[in-house]
Amino acid sequence: MSDRLQMQDPRNQYPQPPFPRQPQPVPGLAAEMDPKPDHGETSYAGSGKLKGRKALVTGGDSGVGRAAAIAYAREGADVAISYLPSEQADADEVIKLIEAEGRKALALPGDITDEAWCRDMVAKTVESLGGLDVLVINAGRQQNREDISKVTSEDFDKTMKTNLYAMHWITQAAVPHLPAGASVITTASIQAYEPSAILLDYATTKAGIVAYTKALARQLLEKGVRANVVAPGPFWTALQSSGGQPPEAVEQFGAKTQYGRPGQPVELAPVYVLLASQEASYMNGEVYGVTGGAGVG
């Protein structure tokens, strides 16, 4: 049995702050983080829950998306991952992990703020994998700004394009390909419910993701497709060290949670697997919080 699955005190299961100061340029690389995040590389064990599925995971190079991609492959799915070209080093590791499970992997480097690329990305996935059953919208932009005067129109526009427009473009392109039984999973945040003052634009988009997905769920169930939201709390990903939080906040990231530590991406993987699987057949339009005890709503 994986050490991760053995019964233990969850508060001490993973590293606790303080962490080293580690600012990175946007978008950040998981390989440069200290301590290294656990995405399930050696700790996630599958059991065939998604055998034969074909999944597209945006932001699949690191963080939450990487954890979902690894878990999906271990559960028997073929997986396409999208990411920025500058994240190629992280993406290469994920592709190797997917292929090591004997599953088909598709690398999709590109910028999701480009509508044409979003639509092309879906077409490439369907062509390469032979269909699409699971769509995970996860890629996001988060840049802290100390007050409203610092949130420029360029900032606001880029966050909206990355977190909301891309979600719409990708989902709109994917829906015609989704068969009955398929699943759409979006990634919101506790920020949708308890927004931080320094994340004005990011929190706004996360609330938008919740509303969009709930409305989408009502539409898609008419064709037998489910849509749900995962809302993480503070998780140890490159998003934080590349400007998502101030450098001094990264050093104490997760310290104020009930656990006294941030979550690790692999701790979200089972939720993404459940929502993609047939075991979640009666789950639709729901928000699943994984917040270290803070809750959502």
The answer as to whether 31 is a domain residue is no
**Quick one: pLDDT band at residue 75, thresholds 50, 70, 90?**
very high
Is the pLDDT assigned to residue 3 strictly greater than 80?
no
Asked if 58 and 82 touch (Cβ cutoff 8 Å), the reply is yes
Q: Which tens digit of pLDDT belongs to each residue from 86-101? A: 999 999 999 999 999 9
| DSSP code at position 234 | S
Let me know if residue 13 belongs to a domain: no
For the segment 175-179, the average pLDDT, to the nearest whole number, is: 98
The per-residue pLDDT for 209 is 98
The answer to whether residue 87 is domain-embedded is yes
What is the pLDDT averaged over residues 213-221? 98
Q: Is the pLDDT of residue 242 over 80?
A: yes
CA distances in angstroms from 219 to 24, 113, 163, 208, 214, listed in the order given:
40, 25, 21, 17, 9
Q: Which domain holds residue 260?
A: 47-289
- Residues of the chain with pLDDT > 70, as a percent, come to 99
pLDDT exceeds cutoff 80 at 61: yes
Active site residues: 202
- Does 111 map to a domain? yes
Region 20-40: mean pLDDT is 93
Task: Kindly state whether residue 210 falls inside one of the protein's structural domains.
Answer: yes
The answer to the question of residue 246 being in a domain is yes
Looking at residue 63, its pLDDT comes to 96
Give the pLDDT score at 187.
98
**Is residue 41 one of the residues assigned to a domain?**
no
pLDDT band of 5, cuts 50, 70, 90: confident
**What would the mean pLDDT of 213-229 be, rounded to a whole number?**
98
pLDDT at 4: 76
Statement: residue 131 has pLDDT above 70: yes
pLDDT at 222 over 90: yes
Q: What's the pLDDT at 136? A: 98
Residue 296 is predicted with a pLDDT of 85
| 56 has pLDDT over 70 | yes
Q: Is pLDDT of 1 > 70?
A: no
Question: What order do you get walking across the sheet with 287-290 strand by strand?
Answer: 105-109, 78-83, 54-58, 134-137, 183-187, 226-232, 287-290
pLDDT at residue 166 tops 60:
yes
Compute φ and ψ for 22, nearest 5 degrees: -155, 55
Q: Does the pLDDT at position 277 exceed 80?
A: yes
Q: 44 is written with which tokens? A: 């996630």
Task: Give the pLDDT band of residue 159 (cuts 50, 70, 90).
Answer: very high
Domain assignment present for residue 91? The answer is: yes
113's tokens? 């703020």
How does the average pLDDT of the chain come out, rounded?
96
- Tokens standing for residue 214: 């709930």
CATH number of residue 181's parent domain: 3.40.50.720
Structural domains counted in the chain: 1
